[in-house]
Amino acid sequence: MTDRPGGREMGGYLLLSYGTAWGIWLMCGMMPPGAVTAQLLNTVVMWTPALAVWLMWLAGRRRPVLSFSLRPALRRNWKWYLAAWALSLAAAVLGALLYFGVYPRDFDSTLPALAPMMEQAGISRGTAVSLLLGVLVYGPVINLFFAIGEEIGWRGFLYPALRQRMSTLPACLLVGAIWGLWHTPINLMGHNYGTSYPGFPWLGILGMCLFTTSARTFLAWLSERSGSLWPAALAHGTINAAAQVALLFRGAEGAVRQIWGPAVTGILAGMPMLVLSAVLLVRKGSWRKSW
Averaged confidence pLDDT in the chain: 88
| Residue 1: per-residue pLDDT | 41
Mean pLDDT calculated for residue range 38-55: 91
Q: How confident is the model over 203-212, as a mean pLDDT?
A: 96
Cβ-in-10-Å burial (0-12, 13-18, 19+) of 111 comes to middle
User: Taking residues 236-249, what's their average pLDDT?
Assistant: 94
In degrees and rounded to multiples of 5, residue 242 shows phi and psi of: -65, -35
- 35-44, 55-64, 193-202: range with highest mean pLDDT: 193-202
Geometric angle at alpha carbon 124, from 103 and 133, rounded to 5°: 60
What pLDDT shows up at residue 290? 41
Least reliable range by pLDDT among 47-51, 133-137, 281-285:
281-285
Which span out of 96-100, 119-123, 196-200, 246-250 was modeled with the highest average pLDDT? 96-100
Q: How confident is the model at residue 113 (pLDDT cuts 50, 70, 90)?
A: confident
pTM of the model: 0.91
Whether pLDDT at 40 is above 70: yes
C-alpha–C-alpha distance, residues 253 and 276, integer Å: 30
The single-letter DSSP state of residue 70 is S
**What's residue 249's pLDDT?**
93
Cα first-last separation, the chain: 25
Quote the CA–CA distance of 113 and 90 in Å, as a whole number: 24
User: Of the given ranges (28-32, 92-96, 201-205), which has the lowest mean pLDDT?
Assistant: 28-32
CA distance 66 to 227: 11
